[in-house]
Chains A and B, each alone.
Chain A
Amino acid sequence: MLKYSIKRILGMIPLLFVISVIAFLFVHLIPGDPARLIAGTDATIEEIKNIREKYGLDEPLYQQYVDYMANLFQGDLGTSIVSARPVMDMLAERFVPTLSLTFASMFWALLFGLLIGVISAVKRNKWQDHLTMFLAVSGVSIPSFWLGLMLIQLFSVQLGWFPTGGIGGIESYILPSLTLGAGVAAIIARFTRSSLMDVLKEDYIRTGRAKGLAEFKVINRHALRNAMIPVVTMSGLQFGFLLSGSIITETIFSWPGLGRLLINSITARDYPVIQAEILLFSLEFLLINLLVDLLYGFLNPKIRYEEGS
């Protein structure tokens, strides 16, 4: 398995290279002159020219590309046009808040998602199923900006339990992680339900029941484990999305994470920052996919990673 992981990780390098090329091209293809946007609404043409010169934006595109790649190979992600700071520092600063919020959100999502999914699959077509699926559908369809503002209104303004935003102690995580986790919980619940329902139809479940196993054991020991593979895949994907930072949730809760950095850098056409974020998100997804693949082996030992299996 170690060999397999190393191979996969090495395989990421050419992939990341391709991604960096695409990122560079895409970012430079967006219409809009970063120098003009950054210079501000009442800048003079000299100020705009200054910025263009300072950040090499007046050079031909191929030259900019060569510079960018040369720096990248030295591990230098460049300097932000807006803040004039190294992009690496900016990403590092924003990564931890997003990562911790992602963990908190995944905590709620897995807790509620699995619970709701299992209940509704076991109590299929009974009132418990209808109620929990109603919650799941709501979770997916309620827009996060509405949910976030409602949670602030209720829990911060009316009840005064949690702060309205900003990062601080554990209490500052509750509302944003619930807002962010609600949608993911709903997705996990629906996947758990359908997957578990399929498994419950299998012969070995019937056998288990026939030999007199308690229903709890049938579900917990035999069914759930086998039903987990699609759920793990989906959770991994959702985890990746959350790690890219949520623009809306981070905006509503003034969370200093990657999502807000991304939207700010896109509006300002802060090329180096957008490029670096795309690279980071791609790397995150690649790593998570690897992790998910490895998890399959735990869930179903029949899955092997060595060649020829």
Chain B
Amino acid sequence: MKLSRLFMILSLAFVVVAAGCSNNEESSEKSDAENKKAEAPSNEEGLTIAVESNFTSMDPHDTNDNQSYSAQSAIYEGLLGFDEDLNIVPVLAEEYEANEDSTVFTFTLKEGITFHDGTPFNAEAVKANIDRLADPESQLRRSSLFELVEKTEVTGEYEVEVTLKEPFGAMPNNFAHPAAAMISPKAIESSDEIARNPVGTGPFQFTEWKSGDHLTVEKYEGYREEGVPKVDRVEFKPVPESGSRVAMLQTGEADFVFPVAPNQVETLKDEAGVSVVNKPSLVVKYFSMNTMKEPFNDPKVRKALNYAIDKEAYVNVIYDGYASVTKSEIAPDTQHYAEQEIYKYDPEKAKELLTEAGYPDGFETTIWGGTSSLKQKMMQFYKQQLSQVGITLNVVPMEGGTLGDKIWGVDNPDNAELELYNGGWSPSTADADWGLRPLFSSKSFPPEAYNTAYYENEKVDELLQKGLSTADDKKRGEYYAEAQQIIWDDAPWVFLAVPDLIYAEQEYVDGLTMLPSGVMDLKQAEIVSE
């Protein structure tokens, strides 16, 4: 009796749902017939941006992922910033200068700017921010960017002087880093968490954040530049599945999608009204060889491996062509990049070098790397390539935490089991120092930093140190160029590729730019209706 009633209720509900669906059907068929392209939203509706993962925090000083920086860059600004080509440009600062040995930085600030909560932006506000970042007690994730700061002094209402404990030539890059954004001093003092209640000076102010669902910002009416921002509202949606992101673009639910998986570019290129953009990122893909271990302590072996891998094929197989073969240890958009000569694919030469090094029949070795399908594909590719020159490669994919323990849990380099490591690096400050020092300085062995090749070269150490000790860009360029060349010749890595950033947008979206670092700039974003 009761069951038949249950059935009746269920069937009734089904009919209701079905009816609801058929209503939807009619209305959407109409819009389907009208145009295949997605309709442009109005400025009031604003833009919808689909991104890969959840935002972690809206406190820039305590953030270390590019995706959170993207949303933050709509809300906050720093004293300095990066333009689209990663040149350093003044933002909240009118101008800045450094002394000869790059220990004192003086900023003159723009006047008449207010934070979203009405607090004026002035030298006191800057001091509050830099003090917060430089205070080791605050335990912020990005405090290391300012750990060298000795003191920050207010020298006028719109003038600040920052003194460092020791020379640091790349300091302007740290000031331009998205983590060095200026937060309203009132918000810093208040008990509300900045992470969930961001207040900055940027073109948009924070509206709402529902974790895992959306984060919304709206136009800041008091923004200092006339006519900016050009849309009233931007909504970010975390959409972890790449196929779903692409579908959102196809249905018009999203106006801008990042990232797009290389194998989905073709699908989107056929889509009316959608454009796909790719440009080089700051990421360099490599696999490192433990130079303290046989046989990789012999540079000939390391070079042989470089010759044994067809980098062009790598780009096509792994990235469907959306990458370029790397010509240095750092990507072209990184400051002080110096191009080197590629180890051209030459298996014969690789075999010769192996014979010279005493391995005419090759050897067996093991590579460690992540478990994502892309990373496993990479390692299988190396395996196939190296087998052509007689090297047997064992591929050991490991889940991220385990891999981290195996590599960075080792305190004494002599105990390292690591032979080869499939890695990638992107310097968040876009400077050669952070692109080289953590990876090639002898002070950067795990667990300290990321020199997984255990590479040690006195000359390189010296050059990296010199580069830090001056603010003179010309001299720094020379030091880093020489360092890049020495490392390239020593070949502690197999140098592979610089993958592209790929994003897709509706054709009516204009002015939304993506920095090579993977951080979006929404300031000039607009909806262009025909």
Interface, chain A (partner B; CB < 8 A):
30-34, 36-37, 39-47, 50-51, 53-54, 82-85, 90, 93-94, 97, 107, 110-111, 114-115, 149, 152-153, 156-157, 159-167, 170-171, 174, 220-221, 224-225, 228, 251-257, 260-261, 264, 267, 269, 298
Contact = CB atoms under 8 A, between A and B. Distances in A.
Given A83-B211, A157-B251, A170-B20, A32 B401 contact: yes
Contact of B449 (A37, A44, A156, A220): A44
Given A32-B400, A42-B426, A253-B244, A228 B195 contact: no
Given A31-B402, A32-B401, A51 B24 contact: no
B270 interface: no
A260 B240 contact: yes
Interface stretch (B6-14, B349-357, B493-501): B6-14
B408 A254 contact: no
Interface stretch (B57-65, B96-104, B381-389): B57-65
Nearest to A84: B195
B401 A256 contact: no
Contact of B240 (A43, A47, A174, A251): A251
A34 B139 CA distance: 16
Contacts of A225: 2-3
Contacts, number: 173
A165 B21 contact: no
Given A50-B139, A157-B247, A45 B449 contact: yes
B4 interface: yes
Given A47-B141, A114-B7, A161 B25 contact: yes
B141 A33 contact: no
B255 to A, nearest CB: 14
B98 to A, nearest CB: 22
A173 B121 CA distance: 46
- The 9 A-B pairs at the shortest CB distance, nearest first, are namely A32-B401, A256-B212, A40-B64, A160-B28, A256-B213, A44-B144, A50-B139, A164-B247, A54-B139
A193 B506 CA distance: 50
B54 interface: yes
A53 B139 contact: yes
Interface of B: 1-4, 7, 10-11, 13-14, 17, 20-21, 24-25, 28-29, 31-32, 53-54, 56-57, 62, 64-65, 136, 139-144, 147, 193, 195-196, 210-214, 237-241, 243-244, 247-248, 250-251, 253, 399-402, 404-405, 408-409, 425-428, 434, 438, 447-450
B141 to A, nearest CB: 6
Contacts of B141: 39-40, 43, 47, 50-51
B237 to A, nearest CB: 6
Given A256-B212, A261-B212, 17 more contacts: A33-B405, A37-B400, A39-B141, A42-B425, A43-B64, A43-B144, A46-B144, A50-B140, A84-B195, A85-B195, A149-B241, A162-B24, A164-B253, A254-B238, A256-B210, A260-B54, A264-B54
Contacts of B244: 149, 152, 164-165, 252-254
Given A37-B401, A160-B28, A153 B20 contact: no
B56 A83 contact: yes
Given A47-B141, A93-B210, A260-B212, A163 B253 contact: yes
A254 B239 contact: yes
B404 A33 contact: yes
Nearest to B446: A45
Contacts of A107: 10, 13
Contacts of B408: 33, 36
A32 B14 contact: no
B428 A90 contact: no
B268 to A, nearest CB: 12
B242 to A, nearest CB: 10
Given A83-B57, A85-B196, A32 B402 contact: yes
B450 A156 contact: no
A254 B400 CA distance: 23
B64 to A, nearest CB: 4
Contact of B211 (A43, A90, A110, A224): A90
Contacts of A255: 212
B273 to A, nearest CB: 14
Contacts of A45: 447-449
A148 to B, nearest CB: 8
B400 A267 contact: yes
B401 A51 contact: no
A174 B450 CA distance: 47
Nearest to B28: A160
Contacts of B1: 221
Contacts of A53: 139
Contacts of A159: 25, 28, 32
A161 B24 contact: yes
A84 B68 CA distance: 14
Q: Which of A34, A110, A159, A221 has the most CB of B within 10 A?
A: A159
A244 B239 CA distance: 20
A111 B404 CA distance: 47
B404 A36 contact: yes
Contact of B212 (A94, A152, A157, A224): A94
B450 A224 contact: no
Contacts of B238: 254
Given A32-B404, A254-B241, A256-B212, A165 B248 contact: yes
Nearest to B54: A264
A31 B353 CA distance: 39
Q: Which of A115, A166, A260 has the most CB of B within 10 A?
A: A166
B4 A42 contact: no
10 contacts: A53-B139, A159-B32, A170-B17, A225-B2, A225-B3, A251-B241, A254-B237, A254-B244, A256-B210, A256-B212
Nearest to B24: A161
A269 B401 contact: yes
A87 to B, nearest CB: 12
Q: Which of B2, B10, B53, B212 has the most CB of A within 10 A?
A: B212
